[in-house]
Amino acid sequence: MKLRTHLLGLVAALSLTIGAISGVTAQNGTPEAAPAASPVAVTDCATLLQLGTQDDGCVIFINGIPDAGDLDLYIDGLKAVVGLTFDDVSGYFALPAGTYTFAIVPEGQPVDNALLTMPDVAIDAGIAHELAAVGMRAAPRLLVNTVDLSPLPPAPEGTPLSTTRIRVIHAAPDTAGVDVSLIGGDIAERLVADLTFAHASNYVQKTAGIYRVVFTSTDESVVSVALDRMQLDGNTVASVYAIGDANGDLQLLEVAIDLTEGTSTQRAVPPALVSEIIEVSRFMIYEGSCSRLSGKVAFELTGKGYNGAGPGTLAPWGSGNEPAGALGAVPVQYGEGVLDDLNFGELLGGRATSVVVTDDDSGEIVACGEIGGVVEDAGRFWQHDRLVIGLEAIGDSGVTGTATLIEDTGIRTDKITIAVALVISANG
């Protein structure tokens, strides 16, 4: 199937290291002394954000290039984020720990037309990574900043509010070094001095509340810019990106994680799918719901498949036989597979799983359906219970269909047969 689709992606770090491609380093801030934090807290990103497993890293993509238009993000040649607008974020998604090649591509163009390709980017297990495209279209850069999600201490005694952790990233390409201050009420405090482009301040801990961020340039290219007020919530870790340019268009983009709720900054236009980037084909059973796939195969498919094509392989229904009836009948792609040693009680009673359909040519996910619903009881032991679920299109793939699961409980072993039937619309 030659199909178009949107595969969009969706944080924890134990150090304050800020890694960045193209020589980006952290500059000294003025962190405050604080009492010891409680040791009881989730510190791996996958558990906190309910993405993937503890062996995965977590990634969020940020478009901070003002003149590049909407951007696609490719990971190892596979499209991961589609059409991210300037000053927006993808939302976090999981990637298995390892080394990847990231490419920033104008929306809809092939990866060969990438504005920037960065090989050998390490994604560490349990660590949240902010990938920020910054600079200008003619000279883009990719910053990779890890996130400190260690437990926050309580607020100072006598303060009813909790604390927050914040840092600032200078991502405005035509602005020289800046002094960054936080103003809370009538009190101004310098966060970092002479922060230069593509650098990040150290984290500081502040009492939750409403603050203004003020930038004062060191070379008078920007005398002083007081940006909009910003709400810093308690028990939250925030990265504040200063994006835009020095011609009065500077703005803040906050990327935050709530350590209590396990929520994070999401895309302004919600992604069609948050998924791990794994090259797959045919249909598979993945862990997780369609909005939060782990990218891990939950159960392996076995059997010969439809007409011997192999388990999960999709092929045109009819195998070349002569059609009959109405000439306008809609053709169907069809595939079969078997889940050995499994029954409905085991399949439906545990973790969330989904039927995921992919395009053989691109490896991209084109349809997904969560496994659940009403099981039709056959009523007699020699008959088979059935469950039918719908498969919804991902992005603009135009692929929809159903998956029929039939339970066969035998004397010695159980199995579930899955049959997937797909309809592809004319615009798919």
Same domain, 325 and 389: yes
Distance CA 385, CA 414 (A): 12
Contact predicate 128/147, CB 8 Å? yes
Does 30 fall in a domain?
yes
pLDDT value of position 160: 67
Final residue of a structural domain among 222, 243, 258: 258
Quote the CA–CA distance of 11 and 386 in Å, as a whole number.
39
Do residue 253 and residue 304 come from a single domain?
A: no
The pLDDT assigned to 25 comes to: 35
Q: pLDDT at position 321, please?
A: 60
Would 266 be classed as within a structural domain?
Answer: no
Q: What is the pLDDT of residue 425?
A: 66
- Do 290 and 196 fall within a single domain? no
For residue 12, is it within any domain?
no
Q: Is residue 75 part of a domain?
A: yes
Residue-wise burial string across 15-27, b where 16 or more C-beta atoms lie within 10 A, e elsewhere: eeebbbbeebebb
Q: Looking at the structure, do residues 112 and 230 belong to the same domain, yes or no?
A: yes
Q: How far apart are the first and last CA of the chain?
A: 9
* E strand segments, 156-269: 163-170, 178-184, 187-195, 200-201, 204-207, 209-217, 225-226, 230-232, 236-243, 251-258
Residues near 287 by Cβ (< 8 Å), separated by ≥ 6?
A: 293, 294, 296, 297, 298, 351, 352, 353
Residue 15, in any domain of the structure:
no
| pLDDT for 22 | 34
Q: Are residues 166 and 313 in the same domain?
A: no
Whether residues 165 and 229 fall in one domain: yes
Angstrom distance (rounded) from CA 80 to CA 163? 34
- Would the pTM count as exceeding 0.75? no
Q: What is the pLDDT along the chain (428 residues), one digit of tens a residue?
A: 322 222 222 222 222 222 333 333 344 333 333 334 433 456 789 899 988 788 889 999 999 999 999 999 999 888 888 889 999 998 898 888 999 999 999 998 989 999 999 999 999 999 999 999 999 999 999 999 999 999 998 777 766 678 999 999 999 887 778 888 888 877 778 888 889 999 999 999 988 888 888 887 776 655 556 566 788 888 999 999 989 876 657 788 899 999 988 899 987 654 433 333 333 358 999 888 888 777 778 899 999 888 888 899 888 787 656 566 665 567 788 899 999 999 998 899 877 899 999 876 666 788 999 999 999 987 665 568 999 999 998 887 888 999 999 998 876 788 999 999 988 764 44
Residue range of the domain that includes 355: 283-424
Domain count, the chain: 2
233 and 306 belong to one structural domain: no
- Considering the domain architecture, whether residues 251 and 306 belong to the same structural domain is answered as no
